[in-house]
Amino acid sequence: MNELGARADRAQRAARDGGAVARRAFRTDIAVETKGGKTDVVTEADRATQRRVIDRIHGSFPDDAIVGEEEDELKSVPDEGASWVIDPIDGTNNFVRDIPVWATSVAAVVDGDPVASANFLPALEDLYAADDEAAYRNGEKLSVSQRDDPETCTVCPTFWWNYDARDEYAAATRAIVTRFGDMRRYGSMQIALSFVADGALDGVITNKRANPWDSVAGVHLVRMAGGRVTDLDGNEWRHDSEGLVASNGHVHDTVLEAAREIADL
């Protein structure tokens, strides 16, 4: 196994092992804390899961940098060298409400670009993974949808618009429902991006700068499944881009137009 293959394998193993920690705490009487706002929640399961993921990564790659949502890990992706981007529970609000739509996310990054990723949905027992060749769900190769008529497409507004930005939230909804056949919202950017990769969704939009732990793994999945991910200017998305626009590629211009409508407020 070459180094990229080893990183892909480690991402999957770390996501599964970390997800198992979170799964044991799911639908239990776990204490819920808040961080930056009333809906920005965290639990001990988030922290314990992140620690398990880091242990699994450092068992094989002890010198790599770690970017993680919780505790004192890095909060931005280094542009040089090898690093890992972790979200122990993406969708913690779902987790604490006993909704089984949340993921343990791990991405391997080299010189600022993802080279492998894994989004494990423990409560649903689905593993979305991508290496340097393709994307997979539970070992089966994935492809984005082939829909090219926006009126047959389903698009997800993702990220969280705070109460002082509800005009943007409303604009995101309006931009989608006036262009596309339907809309979904899952409360997890990583899951939404995974669903674009497997064709269940046709697009994902936000005008906000996405946290790397919410986005990097899923972006790699979409790309390796044949989709397209850009910023609001239509340039290839990076971990520090403004906005995130993901699609099956066939309807990207319309998805991008919807995202820009939010930003134009």
- Residue 214 marked as a ligand binder: yes
> Which parts of the chain are beta strand (E)?
32-34, 41-43, 65-68, 82-90, 103-110, 113-121, 126-130, 135-137, 140-141, 154-157, 182-183, 203-206, 228-230, 244-247
Q: Is 168 annotated as a binding residue?
A: no
How far apart CA 111 and CA 91 sit, in angstroms, is 28
Q: Does 69 show up as a binding residue in the annotation? A: yes
**DSSP, res 38:** T
Backbone angles phi, psi at 76, to 5 degrees: -140, 155
Residues 6+ apart with CB under 8 A from 46: 22, 69, 70, 88, 89, 92
Q: Is 90 annotated as a binding residue?
A: yes
Is position 98 annotated in a ligand binding site? no
Residues placed in the known binding site for Mg(2+): 69, 87, 89-90, 214
